[in-house]
Amino acid sequence: MSRLSAALLLAGAMLLATASFADRAVAQSDSEVYDRIEQLHGDAAGLDRPLRQLVVAMRSGDAETIAGLAEYPLTVKANGETYDVENAEDFIEDFDDLVTPETRRAVGRQQYQDLFVSSEGVMLANGAVWMGAVCDDNACDESHWAIIAINN
pLDDT tens-digit map of 86-131: 999 999 999 999 999 999 999 999 999 999 999 999 999 999 999 9
The number of angstroms, rounded, from the C-alpha of 115 to the middle of its chain's C-alpha atoms is: 6
Question: Taking residues 27-32, what's their average pLDDT?
Answer: 92
pLDDT at residue 107, as a whole number = 98
| 43 vs 46: CA distance, rounded Å | 5
Residue 26 has what pLDDT? 61
Q: How far is CA 89 from CA 26, 51, 81, in A?
A: 39, 21, 20
Binned at pLDDT 50, 70 and 90, residue 27 comes out as confident
List, in sequence order, every residue forming a beta bridge with 74; answer none if it has no partner.
85
Question: Mean pLDDT throughout 51-67?
Answer: 98
Q: Does residue 16 surpass a pLDDT of 90? A: no
